Amino acid sequence: MPTELRSAAIVGIGSCLPERVVSNAELEQIVDTSDEWIRSRTGICERRIVDSTKAASDLAVQASLAALAMAGLPAAAVDLIIVATITPDNIFPATASRVQERLGARKAAAFDISAGCTGFVYALGVASQFIATGLYNNALVIGSEVLSKFVNWQDRKTCVLFGDGAGAVVLKAVPAGEGLLGLHLGSDGSGADYLAIPAGGSRLPASNSTVQRQLHTVHMNGPEVFKFAVRIMGEASLKVLKKAGLNKEDIDFLVPHQANSRIIDAATKRLGLEPEKVYINLERYGNMSAASIPVALEEVYLAGKLKVGDIVLLVAFGAGLTWGAAVLKWVLDVPEEGAS
């Protein structure tokens, strides 16, 4: 395929969700919160939490195996692995290198992307460029997060929001005009401190003092992130549609980052979309950061809601602050009965 005529499309998708379900009622036993507060302010009812032995790469490997199986791509043939995560196994090496080793993807280049909850959209965009230029013919793109290990379980403003999980997609070269039709990525570092883990990096290395002050856990200015998210989800969606030469009316399905149902409702209204065209699963999983979009996309696909040629809009916001939106022309056939 001549490179000027290439794009990248999702040809396999998989997920991994921890078995343990933690309900809002359970959290009422740990912090001063209520099921009513969490539901009405966020839409979340329960989330999945890993057991203490599991790390981001464990979930990533399971999600990847499912995505590779659907794509019919042997691990040894994978060209590139990108893991989007803010909860890596280690500061270094990259979680992607551990995934590459566990999958036996011997020829694959591997690296991580840190763009907060926007990480999956960033990774999808980066991998697609490698495919479009012809450097690689395929890529495995994973969003994997274990935020349960990085929240302060005494901080009700954050611990009720997040859940663990991973989603993976296999991208392959397709003719231009299919797969990724448009991409819009952005960042505003002036909001970097609104959502951060303050310690454990080179600015403030981990010490007894940082641990005592809980600076190794997630700190968030919720209302500031909320205001930003409500504005940027609509703006980023409109920008990417324009880049792709499409209109709001062309959208068959919106799969947004799953952080808060009030934020998704605002984006839905801004785009004038019927609620049936918007997928929400945060009531079951909470905010899984970079994993939220691929997990939701897999559910939409396995439910038989996407058909070949559908226009799918992905849009996310997150730490950085970052944002990103991608428009895809779907290429996978509706799964056979019972695939889900």
Task: Provide the binding-site residues for ligand UT7, judged by CB under 6 A.
Answer: 33, 37-38, 41-42, 117, 156-157, 160, 195, 220, 222-223, 225-226, 229, 259-260, 287, 318
Closest CA to 297 of 210, 108, 168, 161: 168
Closest CA to 263 of 282, 288, 290: 282
| Closer residue to ligand UT7 (CB): 41 or 277 | 41
Catalytic residue among 16, 24, 117, 219: 117
Residue 247 among the catalytic residues: no
Residue 159 among the catalytic residues: no
| Closer residue to ligand UT7 (CB): 37 or 77 | 37
- How far apart are alpha carbons 18 and 243 in whole angstroms? 37
- Give least dist CB 202 to ligand UT7, A: 24
Q: Which residue has the tokens 């696909």?
A: 301
- How far apart are alpha carbons 115 and 121 in whole angstroms? 9
| Closer residue to ligand UT7 (CB): 11 or 44 | 44
Assess contact for 184 and 324: CB atoms under 8 A. Answer: yes
Give kind and range of the element (H or E) at residue 223.
helix 222-243
C-alpha atoms less than 13 angstroms from C-alpha of 219 in its C-beta half-sphere: 13
| Closer residue to ligand UT7 (CB): 160 or 326 | 160
Query: The tokens of 64 are what?
Result: 């990847």
What beta strand segments (E) does the chain contain? Answer: 6-16, 21-23, 46-48, 80-84, 109-113, 138-145, 165-175, 179-187, 195-196, 219-220, 253-256, 311-318, 322-329
- Give least dist CB 214 to ligand UT7, A: 16
**Closest CB to ligand UT7: residue number:** 222
Assess contact for 282 and 259: CB atoms under 8 A. Answer: yes
- Give least dist CB 283 to ligand UT7, A: 14
- Give least dist CB 35 to ligand UT7, A: 10
Catalytic residue among 159, 184, 257, 260: 257
Task: Tell me the β-bridge partners of 316.
Answer: 324
| Closer residue to ligand UT7 (CB): 12 or 294 | 294
Write out the catalytic residue numbers: 117, 257, 287
